Amino acid sequence: MHRIVLPEQFRDRAFSRRSAVQAGVGDGRLRNPELRAPARGVRAMSTASVLDWADAYLSSRPGVVLSHVSAALAWGCPLPLRLDASALHVATCAPRTAPVGRGIVGHRVAAERFESVPVLVRDPAGNAVLLPVTSRALTFSLLAEILDPPDLVAVGDHLVGPETRLDLDRLLAVVARDERRRGAPVRRAAAPLVRTGVRSRPETFWRLHCIGAGLPEPEVNRDIRDERGELIGIGDLCWPDHRTVFEHEGDWHRTDRRKFRSDVRRFERYADAGWLALRATADDLAAPDPVMRRIAARLASRGWTSRHGVRSVTPFPW
């Protein structure tokens, strides 16, 4: 197979077939196996992700914006791995018809709901590209049509977090506005559980498990200081009244030597400061009941009582 050679403006990025033909690129090069056609009129390298070729698709389609799963990707939202993100989800404002075509999942959004903003993403070459995307609040509302409540809470936690900074009141207002829209039961279940300050999808799930198990709702990412006021660490989940802290350990806590040693020192300092500290991993997240019982035992040793004991949260109690 001959390696494809393209003009510089088309290298390391997706492009429209029309622009390539206008630049003198022949059909032979456009049919090279290194290229694929993820949507009508679009060419991209075979390794390109859906956002890599979104600009090439949208550039000739005014009024069409990224929505649903593709909007969530543009906003950097954590999504479940089981979700198919290979198709481009796009939306238009009613009464325009929803886009159709190979590789496209088209949607039509009512005029009173439709709102979009430009979002900066980067193509494979590192170039900044502005893509029209449904607003953060509308993206949350639309994803209720696709996601389960725990996954939608994780999206909401991200959207009101430090990266995207959606105002929580704005999110709740959009949920109230869309009360009669598709996905309303999922929105109603998820929206009241969205919290600011959450930094990861596992933090969201552990917090939801605690609530589902009947434990006191923890604070997220709280500063923990020693008796001199010096920062020891930032606890993923904290119960300050019971001086108990819980942290989720991703694999990089194990594989990064500096992080591993820092973790050991931090947990020793937690103990010195009188905090009970617990840790868990992704394996525990898949079967969280034993961890819930461990947390309950630590809280009980510091005075917490429960009339109903610890409820099972395997699987999610939704």
pLDDT value at position 229? 96
| pLDDT in the model for residue 1 | 46
Whether residues 284 and 248 share a domain: the answer is yes
Domain assignment of residue 159, yes or no: yes
Three-class HEC string of the chain: CCCCCCCHHHCCCCEEHHHHHHCCCCHHHHCCCCEECCCCCEEEECCCCHHHHHHHHHCCCCCCEECHHHHHHHCCCCCCCCCCCCCEEEEEECCCCCCCCCCEEEEEECCCCCCEEEEEEECCCCCEEEEEEECHHHHHHHHCCCCCHHHHHHHHHHHCCCCCCCCHHHHHHHHHHCCCCCCHHHHHHHHHHCCCCCCCHHHHHHHHHHHHCCCCCCEEEEEEECCCCCEEEEEEEEEHHHCEEEEECCCHHHHCHHHHHHHHHHHHHHHHCCCEEEEECHHHHHCCHHHHHHHHHHHHHCCCCCCCCCCCCCCCCC
pLDDT tens digits for range 166-194: 999 999 999 999 999 999 999 999 999 99
Please determine, for residue 260, whether its predicted confidence score (pLDDT) is greater than 60: yes
Indicate if the pLDDT at residue 96 is higher than 60.
Answer: yes
Determine what percent of the chain is predicted with pLDDT higher than 90: 71
Mean pLDDT score, 38-45:
83
Last residue of a domain, one of 17, 33, 49: 49
Residue positions counted in the chain: 318
The arithmetic mean of pLDDT across residues 85-109, rounded, is 95
The 3-class secondary structure across 147-163, one letter per residue, is CCHHHHHHHHHHHCCCC
Amino acid (1-letter code) at residue 51 = L
Residue 281: how many other CB atoms lie within 10 Å = 15
Same domain, 183 and 247: no
Among candidate residues 180, 196, 212, the one where a domain is terminated: 196
The CATH number of whichever domain residue 228 belongs to comes to 3.40.960
- The answer to whether 116 and 85 have CB atoms below 8 angstroms apart is no
Q: Are 162 and 209 in contact (CB under 8 A)?
A: no
Q: What's the whole-model pTM score?
A: 0.88
In a domain, 2, yes or no: no
**33: containing domain:** 8-49
Pair (153, 225) in one structural domain: no
Residue 172 placed within a domain? yes
What pLDDT is stored for residue 214 in this prediction? 96
Q: For the residues 207-232, what does the mean pLDDT come to?
A: 97
Whether residue 5 is predicted with pLDDT greater than 80 in this model: the reply is no
Same domain, 241 and 294: yes
Claim to verify: residue 179 and residue 248 sit in the same structural domain: no
Q: Is 263 inside a domain boundary?
A: yes
Give dist(CA 45, CA 35) in Å, integer.
5
Confidence of residue 124 (pLDDT cuts 50, 70, 90): low
- The residues, ordered by sequence, that sit 6+ positions from 297 with a Cβ below 8 Å of its Cβ are none
Whether the predicted pLDDT of 99 surpasses 60: yes
Report yes or no on 164 lying in a domain: yes
In a domain, 124, yes or no: no
Structural domain includes residue 131: no
pLDDT at 181: 97
Shared domain for 278 and 291, answered yes or no, is: yes
Q: Residue 138 above 60 pLDDT? A: yes
Per-residue pLDDT of 151-164, as tens digits, reads 999 999 999 999 89
pLDDT at 27: 78
CB 97 within 8 A of CB 179: no
Half-sphere exposure of 102 (CA within 13 A, CB side): 8
Give the pLDDT confidence score for residue 243 in this predicted structure: 98
Give yes or no: residues 234 and 190 share one domain.
Answer: no
* Count of the separate structural domains present in the chain: 3
